[in-house]
Structure 1
Amino acid sequence: MSFAAHTRPTPPQIVGILGGMGPAAGADFVRLFVQACTERMGALGIPVHDQAYPEHWLAQVPIPDRTAALNDTRPGAHQPADPLLQATGRLAALGARVVAIACNTAHAWHGLLQQRFPQLVVLHGVQEVASALARRQVRAVGLLATQGAYEAGLYQRELERQGTDCLLPEPHEREWLMEGIYDGVKAGNYPLARLRFEAVALALQQRHGVSTLIMGCTEIPLALAEHPGLPGVALVNPSVELAAALARHAYGCADALG
């Protein structure tokens, strides 16, 4: 066997992405994942070229509304569980070993997916965010999210475990967020979305003095990220944290923090 054969790098793992919640957010997550892979290769000293990126599959399948399903727990076609399971099964059949869920509220079904597919690592994006904030010693954050995510306590629970206070909008402000998500981003009206998201972000900042905000719905960064209307506020994009975690797993660095 040649020396080259001994030194040939191990190919990255095949990974999968559960998208379609909504489609624009799923497509944007792929962009973030490719960017995270480029950064990971640089950190590992791997030459960056097309063939060095991991094989990754995006399942953009129609998934019933997550918030509506959490408010109506009766079994039926309005529930996301079956299509989420079917899409995960397709990703597993394609060889994926690690799967990321490109939707915050859909993490309410994370436990079910992990239980049904024990051969996979189903990443928990909310836990990734909470851990990242704890490492940065952020003690209090404001949360912009869907009504379903608030009611399920997805972020509140994980942040509390890490010792981070989670500050929530008032009920009418949550309605503004839902309007920005559904009548704004999902309907293609980004100016409306930005207006609603900024109003809630500024209200949290002024009421609590908080300087870090989690954009806890994949639609929110599409209208709000890197916008100059929020001076002095650090915006945390959970998709960025999840994409970085997926890249670490793909290159065999799941325990790395960087």
Structure 2
Amino acid sequence: MKTLGLIGGISWVSTAEYYKLINEGINQQLGGLNFVQCIIYSFNYADIVRNNESNNWESTLNMITQASLNLKQSGAEAIVLCANTMHKIADELEQNIQLPVIHIATETAHEIERKGLKTVGLLGTKFTMEFDFFKDKLVQHGIKTLIPGDDDRKFIHHTIADELGKGIFKPETKARYLSIIDELVAAGAEGIILGCTEIPLLISSQDTLVTLFDTVLIHSNAAIKFALGN
């Protein structure tokens, strides 16, 4: 089994979900007492948020690069960034560390292709929704992306930071997210990307009829495939 390097703490809530899903997935395939071989580097989320909110992505890249090099030195053979937003620096990171970075948007694009969809809605932090790093990977696969309006983007970003990232899940927040999803579907979205790793903890396929793309599950499955050499 190959060793995975997980960059976590962004937030710890979704990092725990990654650890759970990857371990369960390895065990489902290998059985017995087989579980993932991995190393986790967990950041203080406040440091990352401070950089990103001040548009200091260079500092974020430097921090993630150093953490990834530490994981590489400890035996990691691929890096899993346990957050969608961190993939803004994923391509540069891969060049810096000379290790595979399993890209969450690329893996999501593959899953959307398998479903045969061409237009999807994207929910996430304001960085994931407004910057092009995620959407560009979808464009490469012929997939069009719709994002919510300005007020809804602000609401989503705010609740990710102040609620979901702290493990707080409110019924009224869930209701607003489902309303936003309905609006994206009305605008032509055939599926919805839950493009923040905390959102699948709030919204599930049981809550809506539209196809949801759980990026934590998709990313975790890709990590499992790498670890097992598939």
Verify same fold: TM over 0.5.
Answer: yes
Give the number of the structure whose alpha-carbon radius of gyration is greater. Answer: 1
- Which residue does the alignment assign to 1:239? 216
Name the structure 1 match of 2:135.
156
* Residue number in structure 1 paired with 2:14: 25
Alignment of 1:54 with 2:36, yes or no, is yes
Q: TM-score, normalised by structure 2?
A: 0.90
Counterpart selection for 2:160 from 150, 175, 181: 181
Identity %: 22
Q: Determine helix, strand or coil for the equivalent of 1:53.
A: coil
Q: Is the 8 A contact 1:213 1:233 kept in 2?
A: yes
Q: Secondary structure at the match of 2:7?
A: strand
Kept after mapping to 2: 8 A contact 1:176/1:197 = no
Alpha-carbon distance in structure 1 between the residues aligned to 2:166 and 2:102: 29
Spell out, residue by residue over 1:216-237, the C-alpha distance to the aligned partner (whole angstroms, 9 max, x if none).
0112111112442x2x111111
Which of 117, 126, 137 in structure 1 is aligned with 2:97?
A: 117
Q: Which amino acid aligns with 2:159?
A: G
Matched, 1:137 2:90: no
User: TM-score when scaled to structure 1?
Assistant: 0.81
- C-alpha contact 2:13 2:166 (8 A) present in aligned 1: no
Q: Which residue in 2 is equivalent to 1:167?
A: 146
Which ranges of structure 2 fall in alignment gaps of 5 or more residues? none
1:218 has 2:197 as partner: yes
The CA RMSD over aligned residues, in Å, is 2.1
Question: Is 1:16 aligned to residue 12 of structure 2?
Answer: no
Distance 1:24 1:156 in 2: 25
Q: Which runs of 4 or more aligned residues in structure 1 lie more than 6 Å from their structure 2 counterparts after TM superposition?
A: none
User: In the alignment, which residue of structure 2 is the partner of 1:103?
Assistant: 83
Match of 1:8?
none
Amino acid at match of 1:72: N
Compared CA separation, residues 26 and 111, structure 1 to 2 (3 A): same
- Which structure has greater helix proportion? 2
Aligned residues: 228
Q: Which amino acid aligns with 1:54?
A: V
CA apart distance, 1:136: 2.3
Q: Does 1:202 align with 2:191?
A: no
Match of 1:72 in 2: 55
CA distance change for structure 1 residues 122 and 206 in 2, over 3 Å: closer, same or farther?
Answer: same
Change (3 A) 1:66 1:139: farther
**Amino acid of the structure 1 residue aligned with 2:109:** A
User: Are the structure 2 counterparts of residues 187 and 13 from structure 1 closer, same or farther at C-alpha, using a change threshold of 3 Å?
Assistant: closer
Per-residue deviation, 1:74: 7.7
1:35-46 to 2 correspondences below 5 Å: 35-39=24-28, 41=29, 46=30
Displacement of 1:215 after TM fit?
0.4
> Could you report, residue by residue, the CA deviation over 1:92-123 in whole angstroms, capped at 9, with x for unpaired residues?
122110111111010011122211211x2111
Counterpart of 1:147 in structure 2 is 126
Please tell me whether the aligned partners of residues 66 and 80 of structure 1 are also in contact (alpha carbons under 8 angstroms): no
**Aligned-pair CA distance for 1:70:** 6.7
The CA deviation at 1:26 is 0.7
Q: Return the offset for 1:85.
A: 1.6
